[in-house]
Structure 1
Amino acid sequence: MGSIQSKTILFITGAFVSNTCWDEWQKYFQSKGYSTSAPAWPYKDASVQELRARHPHGDKELALLTLHELVEYHVAIIKSLPEKPIVIGHSFGGLLTQIMVNRDLTAAGVAIHSVPPLGVFPYEFSFLKAGWKSLGLFTSIEETYMMSFEDWQYAFVNGMPLEEQQAAYDTFTIPESKTIARDALTSAAKVDFEKAHAPLLLTAGDTDHIMPAHLNNRNFKAYKNSESVVDYKMSPNKNHFVLGLPSWKEDADYILDWIGRN
């Protein structure tokens, strides 16, 4: 048995989607003996339909949510748990996972197709194409951003049948804070790559447009502490909708095995 003894898992949701994206993952890890939670972000604790109905003018608090506030919100959740959790985050939740690991708040971290911390510059064209609209340049910061179906097709569900793309969009996509997107380019998204840390796994997919594998690999290679475990797993045929792909259990199995080995 490895050194990761925690039986508590905190799932951290990414941007643009409801925390219900973790429902099957919670059932899986609960069946393996873990206590799990997947809290909604601040101002997102409502149904997809209700959140969409507020967009774009009726959710100023969400629109102005900052990365600092989002980090401290999750710090408070972690500190309320009975033990240091294993934190598993997707996309923007992956960035938050890396921040929590860097703050010594976790027993381990798994960053799935993670938004990179400050200093890992995302120059890939597909990243820029998929993500630039979320910054909301030349639009009111007090209005939320809602990804269009066309942008969703490119950023999240590329390569999937049209009906599955639409079903995923209708089920999970919600308005987002443009402030959060902009804050990912500031010191609020900084981690210390030299610092010792709990075991960390970064995963990537070779068909992910918004967080391409090449970017995730640079994120992985930025870590420089030779005494700390940091691993990287790149999987074929995985787009950014990795949590909801038919193959999601393969990823959950791999993560469970990685936890057991560390």
Structure 2
Amino acid sequence: MTDTRQPVVFIHGLWLHATSWQPWIDLFESAGYAPIAPGWPGIPDTVKGARDNPESIADHGIDDVTKHYAAIIETLPQPPILIGHSFGGMIAEKLLGENRAAAAIGIDAAQIKGVLPLPLSALRATLPVFKNPANRHRAVSLTADQFRYAFGNALTPDESDALYEQWVIPAPGKPLFEAAAANFSAHSPAAVETGNNDRGPLLLVMGGRDHTVPEAVTKATFKQYRDSTAVTELLEFPDRGHSLTIDAGWRGVAEACLSWLGRKTE
């Protein structure tokens, strides 16, 4: 029997394993969707496997990841809804701009080409990668303290440390170097078709206390879409940090996304 449910593809960002989406998958499945959460190219299927094999994760850039998910989308019975966090949010924006999706939600999405603000907190959060130029071709791990600053600053130390132990994996440095150079490159992989009038609706979600993708970045991203007549909306969770998809408050974010999709895609 053909599955007629609307596909949803969850796209993780740097340092979180794809299995961190499991609570979202369960919620969206109960709401009648057909959700999946494939990992980035080269990332093993388990957190332990990813931690044990960082070399398989290294040196994958934005174009590699975009093509990887585009190939997955081609296997689906209809264009999916894309929901991405951090760099996964940027990938979702790129694929939506290419008309490969019915709609997209970018949660604390990484900055795209054309976005200029670079807050100090974002520099500090990404310093573990940028402190060594050779990290462009490596997979880089975070310490628990670095994760607490970049992701868990709005949480108790105990909750942040527990999330670190449960979900954190090494991440390729290449996408960060590509995004940092985006505004100096004519053909940057961080470019998005923000002027597309024919794409599906887009929701940008931001955490007001996010150190890694501060609200100034998300608001500047929103402005990049000002020349498009397609639906583009902004939603803020003022007291949340970069961990908002995996911490104890994840359900409130997920239910807000479900509510928005119900209004914009039915």
Length-normalised TM-score, structure 2: 0.90
Partners of 2:203 and 2:189 in 1: CA distance: 22
Contact 1:198–1:229 under 8 Å retained in 2 = yes
1:223 pairs with one of 206, 212, 225: 225
Contact 1:107–1:199 under 8 Å retained in 2 = yes
Contact 1:6–1:85 under 8 Å retained in 2 = no
Query: Partner residue of 1:137?
Result: 132
**What is the correspondence of 1:1-262 to structure 2 with a 5 Å cutoff?**
7-55=6-54, 59=55, 61-135=56-130, 137-139=132-134, 141-185=136-180, 186=182, 187-196=188-197, 197-262=199-264
Deviation at 1:159, TM superposition (A): 2.8
User: What's the % identity of the aligned pairs?
Assistant: 29
In structure 2, give the amino acid aligned to 1:198: G
Could you tell me which runs of 5 or more consecutive residues in structure 1 were left unpaired when the two chains were aligned: none
Deviation at 1:24, TM superposition (A): 0.2
Deviation at 1:136, TM superposition (A): 5.2
Deviation at 1:131, TM superposition (A): 1.3
Partners of 1:69 and 1:203 in 2: CA distance: 25
Partners of 2:10 and 2:171 in 1: CA distance: 19
Q: Cα gap change, 1:191/1:11 in structure 2, threshold over 3 Å: closer, same or farther?
A: same
Contact 2:98–2:193 under 8 Å retained in 1 = no
Residues 15-36 of structure 1, C-alpha deviation per residue, up to 9 Å, x if partnerless? 1110111000000000000001
In structure 2, give the amino acid aligned to 1:68: D
Residues 89-130 of structure 1, C-alpha deviation per residue, up to 9 Å, x if partnerless? 000000001001110001000000100211102411111111
Deviation at 1:219, TM superposition (A): 0.6
Length-normalised TM-score, structure 1: 0.92
Counting matched residue pairs gives: 254
RMSD: 1.7
Partners of 1:130 and 1:140 in 2: CA distance: 15
Deviation at 1:235, TM superposition (A): 1.1
Could you tell me which runs of 5 or more consecutive residues in structure 2 were left unpaired when the two chains were aligned: 183-187
